[in-house]
Structure 1
Amino acid sequence: MGILRDHPELVLFLSLAAGYLVGKLRVGPITLGGICGTLIVSLLLGAWTKATVSDDVKTIFFALFIFSLGYMAGPQFFANLNRKSLRFFALCLIEVVCVVGIALGIAEAFDLDVGTAAGILAGAATESAVVGTATESIAKLSDLTQEQITQYQGHVATAYTVCYLFGLVTIVIYTSQIMPMLMRINLRDASRELWERMRGEGGGLESDEREALPGLVGRTFLVTHADGTGVADLERSLGGRVTVEAVKRGSKVLTPPPPGFVLTLSDLVLAVGRRANIIEAGRVIGPETPAVPGLDTPLATTQVSLTDKGVSGKSLDTLSKEHPEFSSGGVYVTDVLRNDQHLPATPETVVDRGDVLTLVGARSGLGKLASRIGATVRNDATDFIYLGLGIVCGSLLGQVVIEFGDVPLSLGTGGGCLISGLLFGWFRSRTQTFGAFPPQAASTLKDMGLAIFIACTGLVSGPQAWPLLKEYGALLPFAGIAMVLVPATISLVVGRKLLKIEKPLLIGAIAGQQCSTPAITSITQVAQSSVPMLGYTITYTLSNFLLPLTGPLLVGILGA
């Protein structure tokens, strides 16, 4: 134990390793997750070893976490600030008002200190970022001694741990199991039905299914009927829905054929397009042949960020009609990435500025189309100039203190870096030509930053955990359950009766307003569909901005 006490880096990374191992334990559909597991282990190790880690370590890694979180959510956050998303924004407001109101009510009724009340709010809302923003705000309360600040910050971590456990279990079971029963639907059937309406062509796939007949195909034909026809004329006769990618004449392969090229008898042609159009092409060109060595041209893939504000709110079907290059170039959308969530690439899927489309098709068509709808995503290396400047701006913003009567309110480093991340992420999404922060790098910094911050908090808070549990043991589980059920139930009623949100989307949106990744994971497993994710992404983005700000708000009110 002496080694651990003298070398805090050992106990810190031991907390991470053991915590994430504990977080993998599964009870039915419930797993604690790495962050909660890390906090439990670090609390135990902190109480046992009395090891301490510098507060500067916590501050630095929390800044990395919260900036990365804002950066990833920024494009979609600002895209959702429109009239269409107003009904989903109402759900997030219900969440914020309810959790803050309940936390204040419990604090008043049971005479809780500011740390315990903030921990209840963070845990019951299952929003780990509130731990950081609240802890930082407590340190700035001028009427507290250093000993009280340390004690109350420890109470934040302990109350968070207990309430998080009960809040997590409640939101997962309530959204994935109970809500479908309350709305009298089979979530799997309802999601499939909604997906079929969105697709406009039926046949929604299960999570483990793949299309037996993919829509985009390439075929080789022997020229018989098209003898003497120019390639450009052939493509025009097929309505621009098929492209000739290569022609083999004797031993010579032309990829692509030059302008004005005229087909002759016995040429071999590689055509690419939708299946129905390729079948039509066979009737015009000649009989289909087996694969020809040397004639096969692989389809290219590229990711394009939608930077033109004119595309926001349009469906993929509308986008393809406005840009004939989709059909004439043999280019198709196979995936829509919004933040770190993959949406079904159906004709009815509505895209927003900042979404990343995966385009697959003939290489000749990709280059023409990419520049017309956005910018090719280049995320091969992190732009540390942009990253560092963003965190500096966020830290400076967090130092600003505004007085509301006797209540001093400050965003702190956490709130400042969150807003800075949102702005820097949104600004980057407009062109995608500078400020690169690859999604995997951003996700790694976000996860590691939060995990190390939580581990540091748990190590410091360990000695204060047991006295708090003895004093408020029964209250914490009750608060964790109540602060999930109340806003979720109100949102369920308002979402159906007033906002008229489709049932699968509403269930996903309620999981998103709680920022609960385990909940949406369980929901999509039950639904065997990604359709509920369409509602989840909107509220998740908005709540990721609003909920962390409730920490300084609650601390400011109670501290005054």
Structure 2
Amino acid sequence: MGVIKDHPELAVFLCLGAGYLVGKLRVGPITLGGICGTLIVSLLLGAWTKVQVDGDVKTVFFAIFIFALGYMAGPQFFANLNRKSLRFFALCGIELVCVVGIAYGLAKGFDLDVGTASGILAGAATESAVVGTATEAIGKLDGLTAEQITTYQGHVATAYTVCYLFGLVTIVIYTSQLMPMMLRINLRDASRELWERMRGGSGGLEADEREALPGMVGRTFLVTQADGRTVRDLESSLGNRITVEAVKRGSQVLTPPPPDFELTLSDLVLAVGRRANIIEAGRIIGPETPAVPGLDTPLATTQVSLTDTSVSGKSLDGLQKEHPEFATSGVYVTEVLRGDQMLPANPDTVVQRGDVLTLVGARSGLGRLVAKIGSVVKNDATDFIYLGAGIAVGSLIGQIVVKLGDVPLSLGTGGGCLISGLLFGWFRSRSQTFGAFPPQAATTLKDMGLAVFIACTGLVSGPQAWPLLKEYGALLPVAGVAMVLVPATLSLVIGRRFLRIEPPLLIGAIAGQQCSTPAITSVTQVAQSSVPMLGYTITYALSNFLLPLTGPLLVGILGA
């Protein structure tokens, strides 16, 4: 115990390792998750060892976490600020009003201190970021001694832990099991039917899956039907949907052949294009042959961010017709990425500014085309200049204090870094030629920042945990369940009867307004479809921004 107390860094990483191990424990469809596991372990270890961790460590890691969270959500958050998403925004409004109102009511009705009320809000809303913003706001309250601040901050962590456990179980069971029964639907069938209406096809691929029949292919054909036709004529007859990349005649290989090159019997032709068009090309050229040594040509692949405003709102087919370089240079779109969502690269897929297209074709043709429609994506290494500037700007925003009557309101470092993360992430998405923050790096820093912050909070709060549980032991579980059921039920009724949101999207959106990843995971497992994710992403992005701000709001109101 003495070693741990003398070396707080050992205690922090011990909490991380043991906490994530505890978080893997599964009861039916429910797992605690690494963050909740870390908090439980750190509270127990803190109560036992009374280890002291410098408060600045918490602040630094929380700033990293909240900025990365905002950075990743920024593009999607601003993309969803449109009229079509207004009905989903109403669900987030219901969530915010309910959780703040219930937490305030409980504080007044049961004479709860500001820390316990904030912890109930954070835990029942299953939003870990509120722990940080509320804890920071308590530290800035006027008229509190250092001992009171430490006690109230400890109450935040303890109340959060208990309410989170009950809130998590409630939202998972309510969304995945009870809501489909209340709506009188089979979630699996309803999701499949909705997807067929929206897309006319099956759901997307899982992370470890690949298409058995890729859309982009290259094939070699023996010329029997196209004798006497030029390369230009052959490509034009197929609407310039295929490209003749190479022709082998005897021992001579032309890569690429001139447009006026005339094909003759027994030539071997390498054609590249979409599978359906290549099959049609085979009928015009001749029988397909096995791969021919020497008759292959490398095709370059590049990711391009659409920065030209004129391309926004156009289909891929329209984009290719507007830029003949697609056909003349043999360049094809194989993937469309919008934020972290993969869209089908179909001719009727509509693209927006900031979308990332994966282009495949000859290197020279790619270079000419990229210059006209966008910029090559640079995302190979983290741009620490951009990252550092973003967190610094967020810290400055957090220092601004606005008085609402007699109530001083401040976003704090957490709220400020969340806003700067949203703005910096959105600004980066407009061109993606600067400010690189690779998804794996962003996810690692986000998870690491929150885990270390939670571990530090739990270690410091451990000694205050047991007295709080003895005083409010029965209230906390009831509050955790009630603060999930009330906004979720209101959202279910209003979303279906008045907003007319389709049931699979509505259930996903309710999981998103609660920022509950375990809930949407359980819902998609029951649905055997990713359709509920379409509703989840909209409310999740907005709630991820708004819920952390409720911490300073509640603290400011109660503290006044």
Alignment of 1:542-553 (within 5 A): 542-553=542-553
- Offset at residue 529 of structure 1 (A): 1.8
1:220 aligns with 2:217: no
1:411 touches 1:549 (CA, 8 Å); kept in 2?
Answer: yes
Name the stretch that deviates more: 341-350 or 243-252.
341-350
2:215 touches 2:334 (CA, 8 Å); kept in 1?
Answer: no
C-alpha separation in 2, matches of 1:193 and 1:325:
39
The alignment of Structure 1 onto Structure 2 pairs a total of residues equal to: 558
- 1:260 alignment partner in structure 2: 260
2:333 touches 2:345 (CA, 8 Å); kept in 1?
Answer: no
C-alpha separation in 1, matches of 2:294 and 2:520:
47
SS of structure 2 residue aligned to 1:101? helix
Structure 2 CA distance for partners of 1:378 and 1:132, relative to 1, 3 Å: same
1:285 aligns with 2:263: no
Name the stretch that deviates more: 347-356 or 185-194.
347-356
C-alpha separation in 2, matches of 1:246 and 1:232:
13
SS of structure 2 residue aligned to 1:137? helix
- Offset at residue 204 of structure 1 (A): 4.8
Name the stretch that deviates more: 117-126 or 294-303.
294-303
- Offset at residue 527 of structure 1 (A): 1.8
C-alpha separation in 2, matches of 1:245 and 1:559:
72
- Offset at residue 93 of structure 1 (A): 1.1
2:336 touches 2:355 (CA, 8 Å); kept in 1?
Answer: no
Q: Which amino acid aligns with 1:436?
A: A
TM-score by length of 2: 0.93
Alignment of 1:96-495 (within 5 A): 96-200=96-200, 202-204=201-203, 211-297=211-297, 300-309=300-309, 329=330, 331-334=332-335, 336-338=337-339, 340-342=340-342, 352-359=352-359, 366-367=366-367, 369-495=369-495
Q: Which amino acid aligns with 2:60?
A: I
Q: Which runs of 5+ in 2 are unaligned?
A: none
C-alpha separation in 2, matches of 1:313 and 1:182:
38
SS of structure 2 residue aligned to 1:53? coil
Aligned CA RMSD, in angstroms, stands at: 2.4
1:191-219 deviation line (CA, Å, top 9, x unaligned): 2222222333x455786976544433322
- 1:507 alignment partner in structure 2: 507
2:338 touches 2:354 (CA, 8 Å); kept in 1?
Answer: no
Structure 2 CA distance for partners of 1:514 and 1:333, relative to 1, 3 Å: farther
2:71 touches 2:423 (CA, 8 Å); kept in 1?
Answer: yes
C-alpha separation in 2, matches of 1:343 and 1:104:
43
Structure 2 CA distance for partners of 1:496 and 1:117, relative to 1, 3 Å: same
C-alpha separation in 2, matches of 1:237 and 1:10:
70
SS of structure 2 residue aligned to 1:281? helix
Structure 2 CA distance for partners of 1:195 and 1:296, relative to 1, 3 Å: farther
SS of structure 2 residue aligned to 1:239? coil
- Offset at residue 466 of structure 1 (A): 0.6
1:79 touches 1:352 (CA, 8 Å); kept in 2?
Answer: no
Structure 2 CA distance for partners of 1:76 and 1:355, relative to 1, 3 Å: farther
Structure 2 CA distance for partners of 1:362 and 1:523, relative to 1, 3 Å: farther
SS of structure 1 residue aligned to 2:83? coil
Q: Which amino acid aligns with 1:100?
A: V
Q: Which amino acid aligns with 2:293?
A: P
C-alpha separation in 1, matches of 2:276 and 2:341:
31
1:267-287 deviation line (CA, Å, top 9, x unaligned): 211212233322221121112
C-alpha separation in 2, matches of 1:371 and 1:492:
48
- 2:5 alignment partner in structure 1: 5
SS of structure 2 residue aligned to 1:332? strand
SS of structure 2 residue aligned to 1:447? helix
- Offset at residue 257 of structure 1 (A): 2.6
- Offset at residue 333 of structure 1 (A): 3.8
1:469-488 deviation line (CA, Å, top 9, x unaligned): 11111111111111111111
Structure 2 CA distance for partners of 1:539 and 1:451, relative to 1, 3 Å: same
Q: Which amino acid aligns with 2:92?
A: C
- 1:36 alignment partner in structure 2: 36
- 2:89 alignment partner in structure 1: 89
C-alpha separation in 2, matches of 1:12 and 1:74:
30
Q: Quick one: percent identity of the two aligned structures?
A: 83
1:301 touches 1:361 (CA, 8 Å); kept in 2?
Answer: yes
Structure 2 CA distance for partners of 1:310 and 1:154, relative to 1, 3 Å: farther
Name the stretch that deviates more: 66-75 or 298-307.
298-307
- Offset at residue 422 of structure 1 (A): 1.0
TM-score by length of 1: 0.93
2:216 touches 2:334 (CA, 8 Å); kept in 1?
Answer: no
- 2:519 alignment partner in structure 1: 519
Structure 2 CA distance for partners of 1:45 and 1:386, relative to 1, 3 Å: same
Q: Which amino acid aligns with 2:228?
A: G
Structure 2 CA distance for partners of 1:187 and 1:548, relative to 1, 3 Å: same
C-alpha separation in 1, matches of 2:114 and 2:352:
40
SS of structure 2 residue aligned to 1:220? strand
C-alpha separation in 1, matches of 2:371 and 2:526:
40
1:396-417 deviation line (CA, Å, top 9, x unaligned): 1111111111100001000111
Q: Which amino acid aligns with 1:500?
A: R
